[in-house]
A and B are shown apart, each in its own frame.
Chain A
Amino acid sequence: MTKPNRAQHSNAVATAWQFTEQVPHGRELGMQVVSVDQGQVCMRLTPQSWMFSQEDTKEICTSVLYSLADSAGGLAVFAGALELMPIATLDLRMDYLRPASGDQALLAVATCRHLTDEVAFIHCDILSEGNRELLATANATFMRNTQGQQFHAGGRGKESA
């Protein structure tokens, strides 16, 4: 697997990367940023039994894939724009192609397909790590430069330095 390459990036991508890894829900699910390369983001999630969709199967709940796609998509906006500004998910559409086995880690590969001053169009594939089988695809639209406090990855509710 590619070693994390955060240090090689522009400040904007490095800060967005750091921000993504600090998100409480991402931390709870154990999401990790694997790489950001030429506008493409790769994130990873190791399944745990409380993420399953039924007691008697080891299938990961689709909603966990959804969360991973939303997080990877958000980071892909910054990977595409190379500029820090608050963003918000406008909509996200997921297609669940195959059941996701709890035996294998999930990988999310997100790319920014098109960027305007106001919106970013993102595509994300969710794969199983072992056999690289495509489990789900997502298309999301993010609003850029939304109202809110300034972007800051260092802590809670503080103004950006």
Chain B
Amino acid sequence: MSTTGDSAQPISGAGESGKECPDWQALLERIPYARHLGLEVQRGDAGVLVHLPCREALIGNFMLPALHGGVLGALIELTARVAAQSQDTETRCPRILDSHINYLRSAKARSTFARADIVRQGRRTSLVQVTCWQGDENKPIATGQVQLLLPTMAAQQEDRHGH
């Protein structure tokens, strides 16, 4: 993992132990599109981060230049998915039901980081809030909420009966 330039995010403050970190990287690597984007897990005192390295193919506006909104969408959705999966005792593969992303500042052509907060981990669903920033974590460039469905046998039976 690179620790040069702005690709290593200094992390301050206390938080969770981040013991799930190795799982995060393994879970990300099972996702072909996450591998394509080059998403990598970083870990610190304040928890687990997902790092999106910048490259030209991620640009959405070459005049500014700025990252494509869909690239931030991918970072948020995939971070949420891995966060929800790592919290699940059976590490079931969640299905993304919906996502709502707010763009707060222009996303420059540079390293981007994402942190996930589980709003609610239920038996069948997980709601994850993800914050993205570049350089200064106190100046987020985007936030997103992702609703995920965790497959259960009971849920499949309920779905068959219709609700």
Contacts and interface: CB of A to CB of B under 8 A. Distances in A.
A141 B70 CA distance: 14
B77 A63 contact: yes
B63 A89 contact: no
Given A23-B60, A70-B70, 4 more contacts: A62-B96, A66-B74, A70-B69, A93-B99
A157 B63 contact: yes
Interface in B57-90: 57-65, 67-71, 73-74, 77-78
A148 B63 contact: yes
Contacts of B59: 23-25
Interface residues of A, number: 40
B98 A93 contact: yes
A27 B60 CA distance: 10
B31 interface: yes
Contacts of A28: 57-58
Chain B's interface size range is 35 or more
A109 B99 CA distance: 19
Contact of B99 (A68, A94, A157): A94
A15 B74 CA distance: 27
Nearest to B96: A62
A64 interface: yes
A36 to B, nearest CB: 19
Interface stretch (B41-49, B100-108, B119-127): B100-108
Contacts of B93: 54
A121 interface: no
A89 B30 contact: no
B68 A64 contact: no
Given A25-B71, A89-B69, A50 B62 contact: no
Nearest to B58: A25
Interface string A120-132: 0000000000000
A26 B33 contact: no
A68 B65 CA distance: 19
B103 A54 contact: no
